[in-house]
């Protein structure tokens, strides 16, 4: 593969909150997820991210695994409350030191770092001041991006501003199922507009501080299909597509918000200040596409505003993962092909794709996760099919290096290429899928 596409970036992705643990160590401030996990019935298995996989202490072990597997690119995120405990103001030298050590260790092992600035762990102190509702977040975020890029920009060249703005504003500010647990259209549109502005502002700060920066931001994408050919289902699918797939990627690439079929989001206009339109284009070098499944949508008058609901994979008798998500390899092909309709879209990197399955260790200590191997293999093939048809894809990162804290689901879903034994001192075991992936990506 690499010889067919020289320069293609193969890697694995992770995120701070899901792996680091050490939630209050060395001066770290709390994040909204540390607080959210304390609330009743918010995390499926009643767990919390306090320890996670202890990446904060065990990163050398994980990097040794990357080295052993010869995985050339590693995506991680920086925890904002670890480096600025109150979210704004005083920085935390020990927190910054951690990212220095991590970066240096990656580079010493010839692994290229790819760094996300915001993967959902907002400082709790900022949430107390309104978080993403408060337009001041643009100043707070700017201060944070300056700090991190000035510190690491001499060694890290590949940056992503936000991780999946639709996921954190949709789940965290519209549905209330992710931190900080807010609900409603009003809270969603204000958080969304500030996140869209932060994407562009963050990208421009990275460029001003980092010589030869390669700047992107990541967007969740699903293949959305109507449940039937009836007009109501088709229109419902159109609304869901515009919201899930286009709402953030369009403004980031120089287009207006897609409000034509989403009249209920018109309220966003209340938050758009004069001149904002010209501040939304992030001029990205790449878009990070994160895709897992397809969504089949039917019209549903009982669902407020969007009037649409998902028909589950189980109902449709399709194979599904531990998340209940359909295993549908063609979805990545259609996601990529659909993006061709966005004028001026920069090259794409698949910054996340992967699957959670209930892995078992056999008597020989081997985890033969054949379903995950098939998932990755088929998705990579479908990505290559889109590339052959002209979609400009420059890289593929599997989610995730290790099993980890899967947000509101806790530790139950296992997305890792490497198994974590939560009962036994967080022991790492390389799954067969990791060996398969290593073989697949080698020159
Ligand atoms: C997120 C990851 C998450 C994965 C699987 C993506 O939306 O960026 O943090 O673990 O999906 O749910």
In angstroms, rounded to a whole number, what is the distance separating the alpha carbons of residues 267 and 178?
Answer: 22
When the pLDDT of each residue in the chain is averaged and rounded to a whole number, the result is 97
For the chain, the domains span 9-442
Q: What is the pLDDT of residues 182-193, one digit of tens each?
A: 999 999 999 999
Residue 371 CA to chain centroid, in angstroms? 22
Residues of the chain above pLDDT 90, percent: 98
Q: What is the dihedral of CA 177, 178, 180, 182, to 10 degrees?
A: -30
Q: How far apart are CA 327 and CA 318, in angstroms?
A: 7
> What integer pLDDT is reported at residue 443 of this predicted model?
60
143: three-class secondary structure by DSSP: helix
Q: What is the pTM of this model?
A: 0.98
Mutate to test the pocket of ligand 1, among 43, 407, 413 (most ligand atoms within 8 A of CB): 407
Q: CATH class for domain 9-442? A: alpha beta
Residue 130's pLDDT band, with cuts at 50, 70 and 90, is very high
Residue of 104, 88, 197, 94 whose CA lies nearest to 147: 88
Per-residue pLDDT at 1 exceeds 50: no
For residue 358, what pLDDT is reported?
97
**Which residues fall within 8 angstroms of residue 423, CB to CB, at 6 or more apart?**
none
Over 60: is that where the pLDDT of 2 sits?
no
Cα(119) to centroid of ligand 1, in Å? Answer: 9
Characterize 12-45 residue by residue with b for buried, 16 or more Cβ atoms within 10 angstroms of its Cβ, and e for exposed. Answer: bbbbbbbbbbbbeeeebbbbbbbbbbeeeebbee
> What is the pLDDT, as a whole number, of residue 3?
43
Q: What is the pLDDT at residue 6?
A: 80
Q: What is the pLDDT of residue 4?
A: 60
The 10s digit of each residue's pLDDT in 238-277 is: 999 999 999 999 999 999 999 999 999 999 999 999 999 9
Cα of 18 from ligand 1 centre, angstroms: 9
**DSSP assignment of 168-217:** HHIIIIIB-SSTT--BSHHHHHHHHHHHHHHHHHHHHHHHHHSTT-EEEE
| Cβ count near 127 (within 10 Å) | 23
> How close is the Cα of 168 to the center of ligand 1, in Å?
10
Q: Where are the beta strands (DSSP E) in 262-416?
A: 286-290, 294-299, 308-310, 348-352, 393-399
Dihedral of CA atoms 421, 439, 394, 122 in degrees, nearest 10, equals: 10
**Whose CA is closest to 205, among 146, 282, 287?**
146
Mean pLDDT over residues 10-31, rounded?
A: 98
pLDDT in tens, 142-170: 999 999 999 999 999 999 999 999 999 99
* Residue 420 banded pLDDT, cuts 50, 70, 90: very high
Query: Residue whose CA is closest, atom 5 of ligand 1?
Result: 406
Q: What is the pLDDT of residue 234?
A: 98
Which residues are CB-neighbours of 40 under 8 A, at least 6 positions away? none
- Which of 53, 171, 325, 352 has the most ligand 1 atoms within 8 A of CB, as the residue to mutate? 352
396-420: average pLDDT = 98
């Amino acid at each position: 593969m690499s010889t067919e596409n020289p320069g293609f970036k193969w890697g694995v992705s992770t995120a701070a909150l899901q792996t680091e643990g050490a939630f209050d160590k060395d001066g770290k401030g709390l994040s909204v997820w540390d607080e959210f996990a304390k609330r009743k019935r918010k995390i499926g298995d009643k767990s919390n991210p306090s320890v996670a996989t202890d990446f904060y202490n065990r990163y050398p072990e994980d990097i040794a695994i990357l080295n052993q597997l010869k995985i050339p690119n590693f995506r991680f995120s920086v925890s904002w409350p670890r480096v600025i405990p109150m979210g704004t103001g005083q920085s935390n030298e020990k927190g910054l030191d951690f990212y220095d050590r991590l970066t240096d260790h990656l580079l010493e092992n010839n692994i290229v770092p790819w760094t996300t600035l915001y993967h959902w762990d907002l400082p709790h102190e900022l949430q107390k001041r309104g978080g993403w509702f408060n337009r001041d977040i643009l100043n707070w975020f700017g201060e944070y991006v300056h700090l991190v890029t000035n510190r690491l920009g001499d060694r890290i060249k590949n940056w992503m501003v936000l991780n999946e703005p639709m996921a954190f504003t949709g789940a965290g500010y519209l549905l209330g199922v992710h931190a900080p647990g807010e609900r409603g259209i009003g809270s969603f549109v204000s958080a969304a507009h500030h996140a869209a502005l932060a994407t562009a502002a963050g990208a421009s700060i990275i460029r001003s501080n980092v010589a030869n920066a390669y700047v992107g931001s990541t967007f969740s994408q699903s293949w959305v299909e109507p449940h039937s050919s009836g007009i109501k289902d088709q229109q419902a699918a159109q609304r869901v597509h515009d919201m899930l797939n286009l709402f953030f990627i369009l403004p980031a690439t120089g287009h207006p918000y897609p409000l034509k079929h989403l009249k209920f989001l018109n309220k966003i206009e209340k938050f758009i200040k004069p001149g904002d339109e010209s501040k939304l284009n992030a001029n990205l070098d790449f878009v990070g596409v994160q895709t897992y499944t397809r969504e089949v949508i039917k019209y549903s008058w009982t669902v407020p505003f969007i009037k649409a609901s998902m028909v589950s994979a189980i109902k449709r008798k399709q194979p599904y993962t531990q998340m209940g998500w359909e295993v549908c390899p063609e979805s990545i092909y259609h996601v990529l092909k659909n993006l061709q309709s966005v004028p001026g879209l920069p090259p794409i990197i698949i910054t996340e794709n992967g699957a959670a399955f209930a892995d078992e260790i056999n008597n020989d200590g081997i985890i033969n996760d054949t379903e995950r191997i098939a998932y990755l293999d088929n998705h990579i093939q479908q990505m290559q099919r889109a590339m052959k048809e002209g979609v400009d894809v420059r890289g593929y990162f599997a989610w995730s290096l290790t099993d980890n804290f899967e947000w509101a689901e806790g530790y139950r879903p296992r997305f890792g290429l490497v198994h974590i034994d939560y009962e036994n001192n967080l022991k790492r075991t390389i799954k067969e899928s990791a060996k398969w992936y290593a073989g697949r990506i080698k020159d």
